[in-house]
């Protein structure tokens, strides 16, 4: 069987999740290729060395440039902070490597566009780590919409709420515009945008407001020096989809006691539904065709009748790791069988265009158009 040798760049929080996915995917699914954890790279040498042992990689290194130059690497997996995604991805594409890149795709749309062009020209498989698409309940929502069971979608309301920004923690890279691109908007709002575009098609216009509540933070390891937060702590925007659907979004890392609450509701002509990550194996669905006496939200428990079942009975639970495994499965199939893995760089680029448009909209206090994906050519 073919074997794909992986160089993973970055060995932090998400490096651990991807490493677990490399270990789990061949057990969870009969993959068409083996996955070899060949090389882990981190700029911090101790972190790279420890990760090789902890995450099961054969070698550790500190230079991503040397890694992407190597002939014995097939896949470059980018799990570094957002400011390095573009440079690594472009170099990897030029060396013919398949690329799995964490979200948000880049710090801005021009960078994401360079990544997309390079990957298209090189003809390499490319994917962005918007893993929530691979939640069974969300994939099932897409089936309900595509098969017309909900009728015409009208209004989509999405919130992505976390509370770790309230703890007064240090100025990590997620609070620096140069490294992150934006704050809650690009970090977690991008997941909500990708889910929305996966379910309902492209957003074509936005009107938003960004706000920063904690404007300074201590600089880690600096003896009390204070740094400026130059990204949003909360992003709220209205959206108009090309299909005519109306969207309302809020993303913040300043929402007490909400830990990782990606939630949405959809109202449509023949039904409505509600999803909440806190109960990710459930979907609440109401259908207009139900008899009047029992009409209302029913609680579905995801299982073998729904997409991506892991177990033969419903309700055993699919979690964060399972979504990264499902994502990796699609990536490996695209490499071996041909075709594209979704969400690909074109999808990630469009999400980035929405993010940039929300930032611009907040600056000008008005609606801003989002260029259509079809408007970009290689
Ligand atoms: N899909 C998801 O749900 C999800 C969740 C968390 C993070 N992410 C994304 O994953 C990426 C990484 O986030 P994280 O939370 O793992 O960050 P992190 O800070 O925990 O880890 C990043 C690691 O990259 C290393 N690094 C930084 N620059 C590097 C470079 N140029 N070359 C090699 N190594 C470098 C750092 O030393 C660090 O060990 C980000 O893009 C983030 O948005 C996605």
Ligand 1 centroid to Cα of residue 249, in Å, is: 25
Angstrom distance (rounded) from CA 306 to CA 301: 9
Angstrom distance (rounded) from CA 199 to CA 245: 11
DSSP secondary structure string for all residues of 64-98: HHHHHH-TT--EEEE-S-GGGHHHHHHHHHHTT-E
Per-residue pLDDT of the chain (378 residues; tens, 9 = 90+): 899 999 999 999 999 999 999 999 999 999 999 999 999 999 999 999 999 999 999 999 999 999 999 999 999 999 999 999 999 999 999 999 999 999 999 999 999 999 999 999 999 999 999 999 999 999 999 999 999 999 999 999 999 999 999 988 999 999 999 999 999 999 999 999 999 999 999 999 999 999 999 999 999 888 889 999 999 999 999 999 999 999 999 999 999 999 999 999 999 999 999 999 999 999 999 999 999 999 999 999 999 999 999 999 998 989 999 999 999 999 999 999 999 999 999 999 999 999 999 999 999 999 999 999 865 544
Nearest-CA residue for atom 25 of ligand 1: 10
Ligand 1 centroid to Cα of residue 204, in Å, is: 30
CB 185 within 8 A of CB 194: no
Which of ligand 1's atoms lies nearest the C-alpha of 62? Answer: 33
Ligand 1 centroid to Cα of residue 82, in Å, is: 7
**How far does CA 320 lie from the centroid of its chain?**
12
Ligand 1 centroid to Cα of residue 305, in Å, is: 35
Nearest-CA residue for atom 39 of ligand 1: 12
pLDDT at residue 100, as a whole number = 98
Is residue 70 packed enough to be buried (19+ CB in 10 Å), middle (13-18) or exposed (0-12)? middle
Nearest-CA residue for atom 27 of ligand 1: 80
Tokens for 142, please give them. 């897409």
CB 41 within 8 A of CB 10: yes
Ligand 1 centroid to Cα of residue 9, in Å, is: 9
Give every CB contact of residue 193 below 8 A, 6+ residues apart in sequence. 203, 249, 351, 354, 355
Cα dist from 143 to 136, 263, 347, whole Å: 11, 18, 19
Angstrom distance (rounded) from CA 81 to CA 179: 7
Is residue 135 packed enough to be buried (19+ CB in 10 Å), middle (13-18) or exposed (0-12)? buried
The β-bridge relationship of strands 3-9 and 34-41 is: parallel
Angstrom distance (rounded) from CA 9 to CA 111: 18
Nearest-CA residue for atom 33 of ligand 1: 42
Q: What's the pTM value of the predicted model, to 2 decimals?
A: 0.98
pLDDT at residue 378, as a whole number = 44
Tokens for 125, please give them. 């498989």
pLDDT at residue 374, as a whole number = 61
Ligand 1 centroid to Cα of residue 147, in Å, is: 38
Give every CB contact of residue 146 below 8 A, 6+ residues apart in sequence. none
Which of ligand 1's atoms lies nearest the C-alpha of 84? Answer: 31
Nearest-CA residue for atom 40 of ligand 1: 81
| CB neighbourhood size of 204 (10 A) | 17
Nearest-CA residue for atom 18 of ligand 1: 12
């Amino acid at each position: 069987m073919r074997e794909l040798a992986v160089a993973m760049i970055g060995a932090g929080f998400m490096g651990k999740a991807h490493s677990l996915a490399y270990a789990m995917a061949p057990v969870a699914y009969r993959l068409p290729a083996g996955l070899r954890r060949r090389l882990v790279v981190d700029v911090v040498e101790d972190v790279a060395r420890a990760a090789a042992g902890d995450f099961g990689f054969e070698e550790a290194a500190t230079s991503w440039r040397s890694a992407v130059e190597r002939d014995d690497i097939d896949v470059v997996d980018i799990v570094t902070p957002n400011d390095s995604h573009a440079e690594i991805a472009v170099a990897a594409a030029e060396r013919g490597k398949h690329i799995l890149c964490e979200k948000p795709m880049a710090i801005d749309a021009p960078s994401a566009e360079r990544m997309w062009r390079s990957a298209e020209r090189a003809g390499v498989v490319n994917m962005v780590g918007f893993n929530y698409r691979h939640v069974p309940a969300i994939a099932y929502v897409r089936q309900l919409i595509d098969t017309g069971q909900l009728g015409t979608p009208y209004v989509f309301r999405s919130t992505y709420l976390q509370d770790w920004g309230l703890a007064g923690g240090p100025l990590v890279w997620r609070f620096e515009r140069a490294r992150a691109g934006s704050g809650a908007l690009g970090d977690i709002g991008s997941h909500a945008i990708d889910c929305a575009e996966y379910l309902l098609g492209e957003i074509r216009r936005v009107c938003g407001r960004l706000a920063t509540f904690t404007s300074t933070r201590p600089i880690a390891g600096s003896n009390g020096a204070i740094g400026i937060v130059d990204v949003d702590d909360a992003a709220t925007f209205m959206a108009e989809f090309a299909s005519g659907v109306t969207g309302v979004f809020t993303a913040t890392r300043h929402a007490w006691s909400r830990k990782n609450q990606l939630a949405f509701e959809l109202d449509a002509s023949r039904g409505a539904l509600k999803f909440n990550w806190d109960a990710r194996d459930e979907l609440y669905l109401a259908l207009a065709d139900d008899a009047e006496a029992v009409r209302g939200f029913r609680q579905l428990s995801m299982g073998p009748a729904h997409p991506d079942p892991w177990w033969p009975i419903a309700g055993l639970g699919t979690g964060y790791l399972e979504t990264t495994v499902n994502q990796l499965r699609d990536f490996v199939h695209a490499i071996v069988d041909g075709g594209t893995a979704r969400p690909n760089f074109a999808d990630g680029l469009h999400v980035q265009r929405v993010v940039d448009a929300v930032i611009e909209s907040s600056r000008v206090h008005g609606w801003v158009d989002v260029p259509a994906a079809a408007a970009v050519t290689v």
